[in-house]
Amino acid sequence: MNKSTTRAEQKELTRRTIIDAAFRLLSADQSYANLSLREVTREAGIAPTSFYRHFKDMDALGLTLVDEAGLTLRQLMRQARARIEEGGGSVVRTSVTTFMEFVETNGNEFRLLLRERSGTSKSFRLAVQRELQHFVEELSDYIEARTGANHVTAYYEADALVTLVFNAGADALDLSPSKRILLADKVVQQLRYVAKGSESLRNHKC
Amino acid sequence: MNKSTTRAEQKELTRRTIIDAAFRLLSADQSYANLSLREVTREAGIAPTSFYRHFKDMDALGLTLVDEAGLTLRQLMRQARARIEEGGGSVVRTSVTTFMEFVETNGNEFRLLLRERSGTSKSFRLAVQRELQHFVEELSDYIEARTGANHVTAYYEADALVTLVFNAGADALDLSPSKRILLADKVVQQLRYVAKGSESLRNHKC
DNA sequence: AAATTCAGCGTACACATGTAAGCTAAAACT
DNA sequence: AGTTTTAGCTTACATGTGTACGCTGAATTT
């Protein structure tokens, strides 16, 4: 325990190298599911067997990636909320724009979440679900506070909103930038339907 | 060209055997993507190389499966519409119930669509998209005729409805029957938000 | 009856995979 | 200074893969 833990430091560094390598290998044509341990270590520049010094197996690495991707997304959305509080444009529009920016600049992180949400590993599916649930709950609280809607209603509404946005993100992946704008317009409109419909069914007047 | 094409018949029969074998191998734990040619032929009871007598490669088989799954779904929904026309309960409720039944009884067909929608093959993604588009357009026409909404509005609304139902189906896959009922309630409510919101924003009165 | 087609098979090969076993050198601890 | 720990390496093996090649016998055509 002398000056600085050079050993542990190096280990952490290699661990990061592996994680970064894995992210780098994800693309439209390669999902985490068909990514092999050897590919990852090749990209990371280490021996295949060295992988095990850092992760129990590919599943463990995958769950780490899901966590990181979720974290990135959450940070971005928090940033969007800050922009909103400071009085920037419409809540809906800003949120959608931010999310679409995430999809555009972090396409492979998003693809990971998107694909593993319906993948063959239950733990992966649960991990992604947890990330999404996070957004639904936050949004639900926001709606409840803002509109005074009852708990269940707010939750249903938030869930629908998140679902629509997430799916639009998935669609965006295969679209040209110009068509993405149209897509954004579509989803903004759809979110308004949900918000308005929820409100309208709440106050049965008229 | 004598009595009956025994040769072509047999070929078609084997083709079906392969298709059925492939469907049988799909499950919560196995996606089409990580299904090997050899696994399929083993299940079908033919030699690996015989596969090529029927399909160019696994992609060709996969696209066939997507088509068949889409067809099954479409038939079920048509049947639901018949039930509705005959005056059975709510349009929304009946549609959701029918879809949920499809997910329950044809889980693996649905999983195929769900997974390949975001898979690594663009042609698969497009194939699934086409199936979904089919529903959106049909529903869009229905809404336009029924409510007199403008073309774009009806389309946006239909798109949102299909997205919500499809996603609920995905969630249903990992749930117990009792929780599926709650899920169905949720999605029914969400669909009503969309319908009501769309209508409400259309007639700006009140 | 003779010739042709072809669905299905067996063999074979080159390749990629996950991971077990054991070594090494440097870091960390005593 | 001596001992222990350990990140990373090399080698090795068993297993699964896609598919090329050529055969066979029966169905079909001539």
How far away is chain B from the Cα of A39, in angstroms, using its nearest Cα?
17
A31 neighbourhood in chain B, CB within 8 Å: 33, 119-120
Interface check for A111 against chain B (CB to CB < 8 A): the answer is yes
Interface check for B186 against chain A (CB to CB < 8 A): the answer is yes
Q: What's the distance, CA B5 to chain centroid?
A: 33
Q: Which domains does chain A have, with CATH numbers?
A: 1-55 (1.10.10.60), 57-202 (1.10.357.10)
Interface A-B: count of C-beta contacts within 8 A: 105
Nucleotide nearest the Cα atom of B3 (by C1'): D28
Work out the number of other CB atoms within 10 angstroms of the CB of residue A4. 8
If one compares B83 and B183, the residue with the highest pLDDT of the two is B183
Three-state secondary-structure class, residue B28: coil
Quick one: pLDDT at residue B4?
55
Distance B40 CA to D17 C1' (A): 13
Do B198 and A193 meet the contact criterion of CB atoms below 8 Å apart? yes
Whether B38 sits with its Cβ under 7 A from any strand D atom: the answer reads yes
Do A161 and A140 meet the contact criterion of CB atoms below 8 Å apart? no
If one compares B96 and A204, the residue with the highest pLDDT of the two is B96
Question: Residue B93 contacts by C-beta under 8 Å, 6 or more apart in sequence?
Answer: B188
- What does the block give as tokens for B156? 């946006």
Whether A13 sits with its Cβ under 7 A from any strand C atom: the answer reads no
Asked if A174's CB is within 8 angstroms of B125's CB, the reply is yes
- What does the block give as tokens for A195? 């918000």
Residue of chain A with shortest Cα separation from B120: A29
Interface check for A105 against chain B (CB to CB < 8 A): the answer is no
How high is the mean pLDDT of chain B? 94
Per-residue pLDDT at B2 exceeds 50? no
Do B117 and A174 meet the contact criterion of CB atoms below 8 Å apart? no
Per-residue pLDDT at A2 exceeds 60? no
Quick one: pLDDT at residue B1?
36
SS3 content of chain A, % helix, strand, coil (to 5): 80, 0, 20
Quick one: pLDDT at residue B89?
80
pLDDT tens by residue, B131-156? 999 999 999 999 999 999 999 999 99
Distance from C-alpha of B65 to C-alpha of B50, rounded to nearest angstrom: 19
pLDDT tens by residue, A26-53? 999 999 999 999 999 999 999 999 999 9
Q: What's the distance, CA B43 to chain centroid?
A: 24
A189 neighbourhood in chain B, CB within 8 Å: 156
pLDDT tens by residue, A145-187? 999 999 999 999 999 999 999 999 999 999 999 999 999 999 9
pLDDT band at B86 (very low <50, low <70, confident <90, very high): confident
* Closest to B112 (Cα-Cα) out of B54, B78, B60, B69: B69
* Closest to B129 (Cα-Cα) out of A169, A94, A174, A72: A174
Whether A10 sits with its Cβ under 7 A from any strand D atom: the answer reads yes
Quick one: pLDDT at residue A97?
95
